């Protein structure tokens, strides 16, 4: 696979942004910006990493670990790999 499909990215954008909005109270544009500018999103769009296999809850956890600790690699999801 040369790139992550638009459908997969749209799904994750919607699901992860919804979780960010619910937990942190951000508006949709702010939450989307936080997600799109994150290292986690950069990893998600890299087809070699196959991050979509973690599901939306896993990607949210990875994003949240990045937000709290400064690195998505501190997530339990990535420490298991």
21-70 per-position pLDDT tens digit: 999 999 999 999 999 999 999 999 999 999 999 999 999 999 999 999 99
pLDDT value, residue 66: 97
**C-beta pairs of 12-20 under 8 Å, 24+ apart in sequence:** 12/44, 12/52, 12/56, 12/59, 15/56, 15/59, 15/60, 16/56, 16/59, 16/60, 16/63, 19/56, 19/57, 19/60, 20/60, 20/63
0.85 surpassed by pTM:
yes
Domain ranges for the chain, please list them. Answer: 6-79
pLDDT value, residue 2: 79
pLDDT tens-digit readout, 15-29: 999 999 999 999 999
């Amino acid at each position: 696979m040369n790139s992550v499909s638009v459908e997969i990215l749209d799904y994750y954008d919607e699901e992860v942004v919804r979780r960010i909005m619910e937990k942190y109270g951000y508006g949709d544009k702010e939450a989307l910006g936080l997600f799109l500018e994150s290292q986690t999103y950069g990893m998600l769009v890299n087809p070699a990493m196959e991050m979509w296999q973690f599901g939306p809850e896993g990607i949210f956890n990875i994003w949240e670990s990045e937000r709290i600790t400064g690195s998505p690699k501190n997530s339990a999801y990535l420490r298991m790999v």
